[in-house]
């Protein structure tokens, strides 16, 4: 494990979830998304000790365990470490049962819990909530950007080196080409967030899940491909709902038409996204529903 320089005082550590690192002049460190608990936080602490770096702050871009899971393990090494997240993210981070209940649509069960968490994590408490705008930490300014859509609490962090950490707004092209049915809780907010980043003044974007750091040009290309992926599925849903059908039948068709692989967790992630897409089209007044033969059927409205 080693620090990968992006620019200036901004670095990242490669992993299943790439972790941002900002080094202050006194060698104190701010982490962005520490990743899961287990071996990774332990190795990170060893690396910091060898480099005489003092971990002082952690920012979580959003409320998914693969981003915040290592927080409690890191904080146990030094109780003075401050952990930050948005207000919405704080709610789900401190109450992870709410996320599993939300995904399932009711009280969660052992099947989903087993897939969502492979480790027995200690609870994570957020010390300070952050919101869009300037964030001053230890005399240095960072910009917090609201990037809702993937989750309600998603934010991006822009360092003074013009390096953006955007959470799961974008995924690596190698992943997007295989799994383009994105996990979205609000399609409209997500599309707005893509527009926000496209207009943002930055030089580099560090993907949370990807092999490469993107420059602004490549980031804009990636934004276009993510936007195209969203519209691809919107069009599929519009076309399929020319014949009224229920959620489960529509989801089955979406999975088959796109050769999507899934397990128990991913099925419900796909279902969550599908509901979000339907809600978006309903807001546009493009679809309606009917109750028929003990079923709830959605259909595309004719113009």
pLDDT at 83 over 60: yes
Helix axes 247-257, 264-283, angle to 10 degrees: 110
Q: Confidence class of residue 281 from pLDDT cuts 50, 70 and 90?
A: very high
Rounded CA-CA distance 290/283 in Å is 17
At residue 81, the pLDDT reads 97
Contact partners, residue 294, CB within 8 Å, separation at least 6: none
Q: Let me know: does 207 contact 213? Beta carbons within 8 Å.
A: yes
pLDDT at 188 over 80: yes
pLDDT at 119 over 80: no
pLDDT at 141 over 60: yes
Give the model confidence (pLDDT) of 216-275 as tens digits. 999 999 999 999 999 999 999 999 999 999 999 999 999 999 999 999 999 999 999 999
Q: How far is CA 289 from CA 149, 191, 230, 255, 280, in A?
A: 24, 25, 22, 22, 14
Q: Let me know: does 156 contact 164? Beta carbons within 8 Å.
A: yes
The domains found in the chain, sorted by start residue, are: 4-231 (3.60.15.10), 236-300 (1.10.10)
At residue 1, the pLDDT reads 83
Q: Confidence class of residue 277 from pLDDT cuts 50, 70 and 90?
A: very high
At residue 196, the pLDDT reads 98
Task: Look at 208 and 114; give whichever has higher pLDDT.
Answer: 208
Q: Let me know: does 159 contact 211? Beta carbons within 8 Å.
A: no
Q: What percent of the chain has pLDDT over 90?
A: 91
Mean pLDDT of 156-176: 96
Report the predicted TM-score, pTM, of the whole model to 2 decimal places: 0.94
For 159, the 3-state DSSP assignment is: coil
Give the model confidence (pLDDT) of 91-115 as tens digits. 999 998 999 999 999 999 999 988 8
Mean pLDDT of 26-47: 95
* Among 214, 100, 103, 99, residue whose Cα is nearest residue 165: 214
Q: Let me know: does 85 contact 1? Beta carbons within 8 Å.
A: no
For 189, the 3-state DSSP assignment is: helix
pLDDT at 288 over 90: yes
Rounded to the nearest integer, the mean pLDDT of the chain is 95
At residue 121, the pLDDT reads 62
At residue 178, the pLDDT reads 86
Q: Let me know: does 156 contact 165? Beta carbons within 8 Å.
A: yes
pLDDT at 118 over 70: no
Q: How many CB atoms lie within 10 A of CB 110?
A: 7
At residue 116, the pLDDT reads 82
pLDDT at 120 over 60: no
Instruction: Please name the helix (run of DSSP H) or strand (run of DSSP E) that holds residue 146, with its range, or none.
Output: strand 140-146
pLDDT at 129 over 60: yes
CA angle 91, 97, 103 (to 5 degrees): 95
* Among 7, 35, 4, 30, residue whose Cα is nearest residue 19: 35
Rounded CA-CA distance 81/74 in Å is 8
């Amino acid at each position: 494990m080693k620090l990968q320089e992006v620019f200036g005082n901004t670095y990242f550590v490669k992993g299943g979830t790439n972790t941002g690192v900002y080094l202050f002049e006194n060698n104190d460190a701010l982490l962005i998304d520490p990743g899961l608990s287990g071996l990774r936080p332990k190795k990170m602490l060893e690396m910091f000790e060898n480099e005489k770096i003092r971990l002082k702050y952690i920012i979580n871009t959003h409320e998914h365990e693969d981003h915040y899971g290592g927080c409690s393990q890191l904080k146990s090494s030094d109780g003075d470490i401050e952990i930050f997240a948005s207000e919405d993210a704080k709610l789900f981070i401190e109450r992870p049962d709410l996320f599993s209940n939300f995904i399932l649509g009711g009280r969660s069960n052992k099947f989903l819990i087993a897939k969502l968490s492979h480790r027995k994590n200690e609870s994570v408490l957020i010390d300070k909530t952050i919101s869009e705008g300037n964030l001053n930490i230890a005399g240095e300014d960072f910009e917090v950007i609201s990037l809702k859509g993937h989750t309600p609490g998603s934010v991006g962090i822009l360092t003074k080196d013009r390096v953006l950490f955007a959470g799961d707004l974008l995924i690596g092209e190698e992943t997007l080409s295989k799994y383009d049915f994105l996990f979205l809780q609000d399609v409209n907010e997500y599309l707005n967030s893509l527009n926000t980043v496209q207009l943002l003044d930055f030089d580099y974007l560090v993907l949370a899940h990807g092999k490469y750091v993107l420059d602004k040009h490549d980031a804009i290309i990636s934004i276009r491909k993510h936007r195209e992926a969203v519209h691809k599925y919107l069009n599929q849903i519009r076309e399929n709902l020319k014949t009224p059908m229920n959620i489960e039948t529509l989801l089955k068709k979406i999975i088959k038409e796109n050769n999507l692989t899934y397990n128990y967790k991913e099925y419900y992630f796909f279902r969550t996204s599908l509901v979000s897409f339907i809600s978006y089209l309903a807001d546009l007044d493009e679809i309606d529903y009917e109750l028929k033969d003990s079923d709830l059927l959605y259909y595309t409205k004719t113009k």
